[in-house]
Amino acid sequence: MAEAEKKDELDIEDILASVGEDDAPVEDVLGAEDELDALRAERDEFRDRFMRALADAENARKRGERDRKEAEQYGGSKLARDILPVFDNLKRAIDAVDEEQREANKALLEGVELTLRELLNIFGKHGIEPVAPEVGEQFDPQIHQAMFEAPLPGTKAGEIIQVVEAGFMLHERLLRPAKVGVSSTPA
């Protein structure tokens, strides 16, 4: 039996001798593990960079979509602001006509009213809505601009006592605040 064990030992020694005396296979295995760890780290880094690039691309797509929608809704706000004085002038022209002139210039007045109505229809079609506060409503600095303050008996401080000029909203944004007079009656 001792010979069999010695024979087994010789076989292992023969194998080791045939592979090489400088223990190269062991170093190769250790080198392969290091290389494998380096490749895993590189793979993880590339995966992380890929996921970040994918997230950046998705964020850019969403930002582009949001910007496109915003440009579509609010791109004409400068033009709309420039057309508001036309509305104001037509409104003033209608309000300036008294009953006597109304009968004498019925056709002209009707044409101005139709033009004003058509302008309001076009505004509505493009998301421009008037902000027309009523006398007695509470002043809201988000949509109203106070043109003056005056004490008026029978009112509370902060109530609208006169509407000077209508305001306008473009979708959810204020295009022009409504210009109003506000009560300053002390409480």
Cα separation values, 111 from 45, 91, 97, Å:
72, 12, 13
DSSP conformation letters of 93-120: HHHH--HHHHHHTHHHHHHHHHHHHHHH
d(CA 177, CA 169) in angstroms, rounded, equals 8
Whole-number average pLDDT of the chain? 86
Instruction: Give pLDDT, residue 187.
Output: 61
Instruction: Give pLDDT, residue 27.
Output: 58
**pLDDT tens-digit readout, 10-43:** 565 565 565 554 545 555 666 788 888 899 999 9
Phi, psi of 120 (to 5 degrees): -65, -35
Residue 51 has pLDDT above 80, yes or no: yes
The angle formed by the CA atoms of residues 85, 146 and 144, to the nearest 5 degrees, is: 65
Q: pTM score, two decimals?
A: 0.65
* Residue scoring higher pLDDT (25 or 97): 97
> Domain ranges in the chain?
2-71, 75-183
**pLDDT tens-digit readout, 124-173:** 999 999 999 999 999 999 999 999 999 988 888 899 999 999 999 999 89
Q: What is the dotted CATH code of the domain comprising 75-183? A: 2.30.22.10
d(CA 109, CA 178) in angstroms, rounded, equals 25
Q: What is the mean pLDDT of residues 102-129?
A: 93
Output the six-digit token pair for 117.
């109505």
Instruction: Give pLDDT, residue 146.
Output: 94
- For 126, residues 6+ apart whose C-beta sits below 8 A from its C-beta are 76, 80, 170
Which of 104, 103, 186 shows the shortest CA–CA distance to 151?
A: 186
